[in-house]
Structure formats: C-alpha cells, structure tokens
Chains A and B, each alone.
Chain A
Amino acid sequence: MKSFTLFNPKSLGDAVGALAAPTSSVKVLAGGQDLLTEMKEHLVEPDKLVNLKGVPGLDRIEFTAAGACTIGALVTVGALEEHAGVRERLRVLAEAAGSVGSPQIRSVGTVGGNLCQRPRCWYYRSEHAKCLKKGGDECFSFSGQNKYNAILGGGPSYIVHPSDLAPALVALGATVTLKCSTGERQVALERFFTLPGEGDIRRETVLRDDEVLTHVHVPAPAAGMQSTYVKFRERGSYDFALASVALALWRDGARVKEARVVLGGVAPIPWRAKAAEAALAGAAFEAATFARAADGAVQGAEGFGQNDYKIPLTKGLVQRALQSCG
C-alpha cells in the first residue's frame, strides 16, 4: 500500500473542508473495510485520507416518535443489525445488515461505507485488468468469466452492486444526505446509484469527490408493513449475494395492497423490480401471484453464459421472500 497522510478532522466542517479542492488523491475513510482492500491492490492510491471517525454525531441511530429513522453514516453494520428499534420496525434492514460480510467486517464496516463500496467484479479488482471501470475500453466480463456479473441493467459495464443494505434501504424509500463545504443535498437512495450507461462509468453513485454521505433517512413505514431480505450466496459462512431480494409488503386481508421489490447482486445498482411490484399490487396473496411477480422481477433479464443461472435463482428468491410473509 502506498503511503499517505492521515487527516483526523474533529468536525464535519473540517472534514468537508479538506475535500473542497477535490483531487483523486484524497479519499474519505470510515471503516476502511473496502477502501483499504482497494489501496492494497493499487486500485486507488490516495495521497491523503480524511478520517471521519473523529467526527462527532455520525454514529447514531435515531427514531422519531412517528417512526422515521435517521442513521448516521458511521453507524457500523453490526450496530445496525443489533439495534432493537431497527429489528422491530425495519426488519428488512436488520436482516440485510446481518447478512453483510463476516462478524469482523460488520464490527468495523459502516453504513455509509457499505453504500459507497466499489464493485467486487474480479476484473475490476485485478490490478492487471484495465477494464472500463478503470479507464480501459472493454468490459472483460462480457466475453470472459461472467458468473457473478449482471443480468439486468448492464452495459457497457456489467458489474453488480455488492451492497446488501442498499436494496433494503431502497425498498424502504430511504434518502441520503450528501454534504460538501458549501451546503448539502438530499437524494433519494434510488437516484443515488447510477447505471453504467447513465453517468460516469467509473462511478456507481452521484456522490461527488467533494461530498461526504453523512446520514441515511428512512421514512416511517405505512402501518402494517411486512418486510424481509432474502439473500443467496455461494458460500454459507459469508459472501456477497449471487442474488438477493428486499421485499416490503402491505396487505389488506387476502390481497396485496402494495409491494416494493428490490433486487441485489443482479444489476449495477439496487434494482427496483417495478413489473414485480405491479404484478403484486391489488392481487390475491397466493402462489399464482408470487409466480407472476417472479416473472416480472426478471423482465428484460439477459444472461451471457455463466450467469444465466441468476434468472431462475432470482425468480426463486422473489417467491421465497413472498412466501415468508404468509
């Protein structure tokens, strides 16, 4: 790992001040569980790290009386998983947090870092492959080893977004606060992530180099929400998702009132499966509906060989998530 200077600001103002004249050689450090792996593999080589850990007030989870929740970016994934209010009221988020990485990673990795983590595609992670994401002119997964790559929303890059928290938070309709030295903006999490064909192909989010993600806001869910996170991974102990489903569901007796279905591990962003949601809205809560929702979830999905299995896998996970709410 290349050496760097470590800046330890004591306030958020000082932290964003250090980013005000952004260069690619300044990076924000929170838990470091993704950033340090990138630095060790020479994917990023910052001259300076701005350590957020000394900034007060970013490590809290707070619920309002009405049930809205604000999560500081420095809250660890482990603390999120164990928080009694989150477990009780935002089950999909607690389950997603519990499925992240290993206990060691959850005890250090942060919510902000989980949302801003970089792709795990092995061409991206290899310092020897100059892929599209790193200024090259080819996505090697298309003709190469693509077992873990995208079936939805891909092109020209076919990475999948690795976050488990992101699908859960999108299902909950979360927004994030992005702060810079001259102000702040609120962005719906669904708009925070960008497809490779939409924005800068080297990025996965709209976060600018001079901004810090400071908070995640989850609005109070409408009464009666059922929710769950179903994740399928290749290795039982800990792993990234081959595919996952974040489901938030509201029922009216035997019918579905409304549902949010967000897929992880299958697209370059947490993938809102709107055709699945449409198949569920107003339909009877029964197996035939689940099957139609599963078909809707993979509408437009396309494998290119080794990742074809993700299509039936995703359909199965959507049905499993719905069944678990029965």
Chain B
Amino acid sequence: MRVLHLLINGDRVTVAAPEHWTLLEVLRYELGLTGSKQGCDKGDCGACTVLVDGKPVLACLTLAALCEERAVTTIEGLLPAHVKSGGSGPDPVQAAFDECGALQCGFCQPGMMLSARALLDRNACPTRTEIQDALAGNLCRCTGYTQIVEAVELAVAKHCGVAPRRPGSARPRGRSRPPPRRA
C-alpha cells in the first residue's frame, strides 16, 4: 500500500491504495468517482479518459502513484470548474451533448466530453476535422459519432458565434435551430 496525495477536481485528497493501482482504480474504487468508465481497461476504448494537467490521458494506463502533484480533472469536475470560473450550470460541452442528444448508452460520454474539453481549452474554435481528430481515441458503439461531433460543434458555435467550417463547404453552415431533444 502507498499513501497518495492527489489533486482531484481542485480538491486535495489523501488516499491509501495498492502500489500498482491505476488512476482509474483509485478514482472508482477508493474515491467513488465512477464517472470515469472502466471499458477495455487496456488503452483501446478511451472510456476512462481524464485530464491530467489539462491533457487527455487514459486513466487505465496511468499509475496513480505517478499522479501526485498533478491536477486531475474527471467528468465530476467539469460542472464545478465551470461554475467556479463564473459560468452557470454544466460545462458548455455537457450542455451541448444534452441539447444534441449526443449519447445512447452513455458509457463513452464522460471520456468524449473530457477529450472535447481538452481540445476547446487549447483551441476554442476548431474545425470539424480537428474535432474528429481530438475525439479519435474515444470509441462509441451506439451513436455512429454524428451527434457527438455535432454537439462539440454546437459548443464551439455558441462560444465563437459561428459554426465551424465543414470540409468542402465554402461557407460555415449555421444551424437554424437546435436538434430536438431526445427523451
């Protein structure tokens, strides 16, 4: 066992965990933060994606013992961080996923939204291709990805005031009204 001093979603936490545990195991089984999903558990699916110092990483392939002194953001931390920075309600990425119905079973969604957040933090107005590249490591077995990419585009459009340019289209394609909400 090893005592770890971690910084999770802005909170300093001290936790004892086996030496070989991954960040994902500590998040889920010591801290109860089950938003980070244990999918393949070997780096293929991206469902465990969290941000470490702002970069998307696979929590299943990250040793918790190597995360001390680093800022970890999980899906549970997005809304509090948004509120803390002066916003209200969920992170714009979360709101856009909600508005676009960009989920079915929901298993990939936390990782998707964190990959999208990492992208928008370094590039506030990405192109569709840049969005697709940023989400390349997050697999979804339900949606076919269309609404997921559209959700990120909606978040971008609301932030930048214009829709991202589509490959092959000369002008930005605006959305006249948001797609219907799914039950």
Contacts and interface: CB of A to CB of B under 8 A. Distances in A.
Interface of A: 1-6, 29, 32-33, 36-37, 40-41, 51, 53, 78, 101-105, 107-108, 237-238
Contact residues of B: prevailing secondary structure: mixed
A2 B42 contact: no
* A-B CB proximity, top 8 nearest: A102-B137, A237-B136, A107-B55, A3-B20, A104-B137, A36-B61, A104-B58, A37-B42
B22 interface: yes
A36 B48 CA distance: 15
B63 interface: yes
B41 interface: yes
B41 A51 contact: no
Contacts, number: 72
B62 A53 contact: no
Given A33-B43, A37-B42, A103-B115, A3 B18 contact: yes
Given A105-B137, A107-B55, A107-B57, A32 B62 contact: yes
A306 to B, nearest CB: 22
Interface in B50-67: 55-58, 60-63, 65-66
Interface centre among B42, B63, B118, B134 (most CB of A within 10 A): B63
A1 B18 CA distance: 11
A5 B19 contact: yes
A4 B2 CA distance: 12
A6 B63 contact: yes
A185 to B, nearest CB: 29
Interface string B123-150: 0000000001110111100000000000
B137 A4 contact: no
B32 to A, nearest CB: 22
Contacts of A32: 61-63
Given A1-B20, A103-B134, A6 B65 contact: yes
Contacts of B109: none
B46 interface: yes
Contacts of B73: none
Contact of A104 (B41, B42, B57, B63): B57
Nearest to B58: A104
Interface centre among B58, B62, B118 (most CB of A within 10 A): B58
B49 interface: yes
A77 B83 CA distance: 34
A1 B22 CA distance: 10
22 contacts: A4-B20, A5-B19, A6-B2, A6-B19, A32-B61, A33-B43, A33-B58, A36-B22, A36-B42, A36-B60, A36-B61, A36-B63, A37-B43, A41-B42, A102-B46, A103-B134, A104-B46, A104-B49, A104-B56, A105-B58, A108-B55, A108-B61
Contacts of A101: 137
A1 B137 CA distance: 23
Nearest to A238: B136
A3 B137 contact: no
Contact of A103 (B43, B56, B61): B56
Nearest to B53: A107
B143 to A, nearest CB: 14
A4 B18 CA distance: 9
A125 to B, nearest CB: 9
Interface string B141-179: 000000000000000000000000000000000000000
A78 B122 CA distance: 14
A103 B133 contact: yes
A53 B61 contact: no
B30 to A, nearest CB: 16
B67 to A, nearest CB: 11
Contact of B20 (A2, A37, A238): A2
Nearest to B56: A104
Nearest to A51: B66
Given A6-B65, A237-B132, 13 more contacts: A2-B20, A6-B63, A29-B63, A32-B61, A37-B43, A37-B61, A101-B137, A103-B134, A104-B58, A105-B137, A108-B55, A108-B58, A237-B139
Interface string B1-24: 010000000000000001110100
A82 B20 CA distance: 32
Contacts of B2: 6
Interface string B74-112: 000000000000000000000000000000000000000
Contacts of A108: 55, 57-58, 61-62
